[in-house]
Amino acid sequence: MKEIIEVIALFLGFAGWILIFISLQDQYWKKSSEDGSAITTSTIYENLWMSCASDSTGIFNCRDFPSLFALPGYIQASRALMITSIVFGTFGLVATLVGMKCSKIGGEKYVLKGRIAAIGGVFFLLQGICTMIAISWYAATITQQFFDQFYQGIKYEIGAGLYIGWFSATLAICGGTCLMCSCKVNTPNKKIPYPCQPSSRGHVLLTVARSETVSSNYGKNAYI
């Protein structure tokens, strides 16, 4: 049963790791809102790396963000968290492949392999947490600007890239949890019986009593 759970956890972690790249490549992290616009001539959509615009004829143009330091703080933080999640996912995949019980890598030291697999589960959890923080922070900023009546800039809505990121984080967290639960070592709570050892004083008294009993079995003539 543990081998099946480990394989499922590896599949979930790997799927979440792949979806991170798909989410980063998706251009629709946020899309300009059509709410309140009678005529829409162009649509603007962005992700962490570029901004694109398309008109009604289907012609689009994309440009990369010119400067890293000129970007808002939440975009810089989301970039760092997404890259960190990729690194954690890579470590998690390697540790899981080495620590799986059905894997021949690392020999047959199952205790050590179980600990390595548990470390892989921790990496998957960190991957999911970093992705969840980055995606949720980005989405919260979009939502705050959308409902802010005093915001004068372009209002955006949540794009498909964020939903892919949420799904990726969920898979990674589920995979890490399953892997850590499968590698948990259950030690049976058995009580070890210990023989009752009397104290030295009781042992001396017992020896004296036995000697008196033995001596009483002889008659008085035995000492003449």
Domain-embedded: residue 199:
no
Below-70 pLDDT ranges, the chain: 1, 35-41, 102-110, 183-224
User: CA angle at residue 132 from 137 to 23, to 5 degrees?
Assistant: 90
Domain-embedded: residue 97:
yes
pLDDT at 106: 57
Residue range of the domain that includes 176: 2-182
**196 Cβ neighbours under 8 A, 6+ residues apart:** none
Is the backbone of residue 36 left (phi > 0), alpha (psi -120 to 50) or beta? Answer: left
> Does the reported pTM lie above 0.85?
no
pLDDT tens string 75-88: 999 999 999 999 99
Tally of domains within the chain: 1
pLDDT tens string 101-148: 766 665 666 677 778 888 989 999 999 999 999 999 999 999 998 888
Joined together, the tokens standing for residue 15 give 């799927």
Domain-embedded: residue 213:
no
User: Exposed/middle/buried for 77, CB within 10 Å: 0-12, 13-18, 19+?
Assistant: middle
CA distances to 72, 80, 186 from 83, rounded to whole Å, are: 17, 5, 36
Domain-embedded: residue 40:
yes
Domain-embedded: residue 162:
yes
CATH number assigned to the domain comprising residue 132: 1.20.140.150
